[in-house]
């Protein structure tokens, strides 16, 4: 398909309207308009989210759940409505299965400590994949050190796709949990989570899905996926930082011990013994990030209004165009060429260090990420010290990709 026909696949979003929702896009960086291609690290926030957070602090700021006064009741209602919005967004059977956390990292640690740790015996196995973010590696390593369990890694091929045959072989009764990233932040690969859950389900192996990068790009239905836990972060999906969620099957949440002790998670306390609340309160000790949770609900509203199918279709067009356009640059090599990919383009440019690439394109107003993307085993797999990564969001345009490509061409020119 030619460039112009790829650009024509743009029927679904009112992109100018969307761009006007993001005030930061009016910024100039080194005298050039900002081209933000770092959504995988953290998305920008639309006015709706910013104003929702400001409205909370201006008009009904109060602690939740405990107060009888009006502000506290309003804050509690907004916090709980947000939980309901998130539950509907991922098609959770009940909002009581949605636990607010600080983000994906905390959600995974919560499952590691409260769900898995009490079950592990020496020799048990935890299965993860080669393309995990550190947050879906390190918590399991720590557990293995403590319990004598063993961490096993499902290999991937050169395209950055999981070796499904190996996964099937490694999936045995010894495996006590399989942790898998839905969309890789370093490669863009979309993993076949539904198939993986079916395979694991046959042996009764619980599956935790790291959904940090899937939530902003596609619709997620935890019931269709068939997983046991789904973890995500507000800031990757156009919401505030410091907030995220864990969805877990109610039977798991019910049987799990609390993660932290404190206020809010208890029903009754004496010095002899405490009785815990039911989930999700059981896992939300202390005053939570109330403004963040309410802001995350606003981000969900924003994405729902646009429609995740539209987001996915629009970004697929951008990705196809970007893949073709960038391939024309001398010395450009895409890292991560899976057939099923979301809007992440990791690459190397000749033998120029990724940090130099990132610093030089910033001079043209282009924000990309460079480094190991908190997925060191991925860059090690390709024998690279680092990659540069342009990642897409709903506000990006074909012109953003052209500007990136022009900037990269200037960089190669400097090193020629």
Residues annotated catalytic, as ranges: 374
Tokens of 40: 């995988």
The Cβ of residue 58 has, within 10 Å, a number of other Cβ atoms equal to 9
Query: Does position 369 bind ligand PMP by CB under 6 A?
Result: no
Tokens of 111: 């499952």
Name which of 360, 341, 361 is nearest 401 in CA terms: 361
Per-residue contact string for residues 166-205; x = within reach of ligand PMP by CB under 6 A:
---------------x---x--------------------
Select 156 or 212, whichever has its Cβ closest to ligand PMP.
212
The Cβ of residue 93 has, within 10 Å, a number of other Cβ atoms equal to 12
Q: Choose the binding region for ligand PMP from 101-109, 137-145, 262-270, 364-372 (rule: CB under 6 A).
A: 101-109
Tokens of 246: 């864990």
Which helix (DSSP H) or strand (DSSP E) does residue 367 occupy? strand 366-367
Per-residue contact string for residues 230-249; x = within reach of ligand PMP by CB under 6 A:
---x----------x-----
Q: Choose the binding region for ligand PMP from 99-107, 153-161, 352-360, 393-401 (rule: CB under 6 A).
A: 99-107
- Given 39, 76, 82, 105, the residue binding ligand PMP (CB under 6 A): 105
Per-residue contact string for residues 120-159; x = within reach of ligand PMP by CB under 6 A:
-------------x-x------------------------
Select 61 or 141, whichever has its Cβ closest to ligand PMP.
141
Helix (H, G, I), strand (E, B) or coil at 274: strand
- Residues 101 and 244: their CA atoms lie apart, in Å, by 5
- Given 12, 15, 374, 384, the residue binding ligand PMP (CB under 6 A): 374
Helix (H, G, I), strand (E, B) or coil at 335: strand
**Ramachandran quadrant class, 195 (left: phi over 0; alpha: psi -120 to 50; beta: rest):** alpha
- Residues 184 and 162: their CA atoms lie apart, in Å, by 11
- Given 143, 187, 209, 212, the residue binding ligand PMP (CB under 6 A): 212
Select 6 or 162, whichever has its Cβ closest to ligand PMP.
162
Query: Does position 109 bind ligand PMP by CB under 6 A?
Result: no
Q: Choose the binding region for ligand PMP from 100-108, 154-162, 220-228, 292-300 (rule: CB under 6 A).
A: 100-108
Q: Choose the binding region for ligand PMP from 57-65, 102-110, 326-334, 357-365 (rule: CB under 6 A).
A: 102-110
Q: How far is the CB of 135 from ligand PMP (least distance, A)?
A: 4
Which value, in Å, is the radius of gyration of the alpha carbons in the chain?
Answer: 22
Going by C-beta distance under 8 Å and a sequence separation of 6 or more, which residues neighbour residue 36? 24, 25, 44, 367, 393, 395, 396, 400
Strand partners, 246: 99, 231
Q: What is the binding site for ligand PMP (CB under 6 A)? A: 103-105, 133, 135, 181, 185, 210, 212-213, 233, 244, 374
């Amino acid at each position: 398909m030619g460039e112009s026909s790829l650009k024509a696949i743009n029927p679904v979003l009112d992109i100018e309207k969307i761009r006007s929702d993001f005030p930061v896009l009016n910024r100039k960086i080194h005298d050039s308009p900002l081209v933000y291609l770092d959504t995988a690290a953290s998305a920008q926030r639309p006015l709706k989210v910013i104003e929702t957070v400001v409205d909370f602090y201006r008009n009904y700021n109060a602690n939740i759940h405990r107060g009888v006064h009006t502000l506290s009741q309003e804050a509690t209602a907004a916090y709980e409505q947000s939980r309901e919005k998130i539950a509907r967004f991922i098609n959770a059977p009940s909002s009581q299965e949605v636990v607010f956390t600080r983000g994906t990292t905390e959600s995974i640690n919560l499952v590691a400590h409260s769900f898995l740790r009490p079950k592990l015996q020496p020799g048990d196995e935890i299965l993860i994949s080669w393309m995990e973010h550190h947050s879906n590696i390190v918590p399991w390593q720590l557990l293995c050190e403590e319990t004598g369990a063993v961490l096993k890694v499902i290999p991937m091929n050169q395209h950055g796709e999981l070796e499904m045959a190996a996964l099937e072989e490694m999936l045995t009764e010894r495996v006590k949990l399989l942790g898998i990233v839905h969309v890789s932040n370093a490669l863009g690969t979309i993993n076949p989570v539904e198939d993986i859950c079916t395979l694991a389900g046959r042996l009764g192996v619980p599956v935790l899905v790291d959904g940090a990068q899937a939530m902003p790009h596609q619709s997620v239905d935890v019931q269709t996926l068939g997983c046991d836990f789904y973890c995500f972060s507000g800031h990757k999906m156009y919401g505030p930082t410091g907030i995220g969620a864990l969805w877990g099957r109610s039977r798991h949440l019910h049987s799990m011990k609390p993660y932290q002790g404190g206020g809010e998670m208890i029903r009754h306390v004496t010095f002899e013994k405490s009785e815990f609340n039911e989930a999700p309160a059981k896992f939300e000790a202390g005053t939570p990030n109330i403004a963040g949770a309410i802001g995350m609900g606003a981000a969900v509203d924003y994405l729902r209004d646009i429609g995740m199918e539209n987001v996915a279709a629009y970004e697929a067009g951008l990705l196809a165009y970007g893949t073709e356009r960038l391939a024309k640059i001398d010395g450009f090599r895409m890292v991560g060429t899976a057939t099923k990919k979301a809007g992440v383009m990791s690459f190397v440019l000749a033998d120029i260090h990724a940090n130099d690439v990132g610093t030089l394109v910033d001079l043209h107003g282009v924000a990309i990420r460079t480094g190991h993307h908190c997925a060191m085993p991925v860059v090690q797999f390709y024998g690279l010290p680092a990659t540069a990564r342009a990642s897409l969001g709903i506000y990006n345009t074909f012109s953003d990709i052209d500007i990136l490509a022009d900037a990269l061409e200037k960089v190669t020119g400097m090193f020629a």
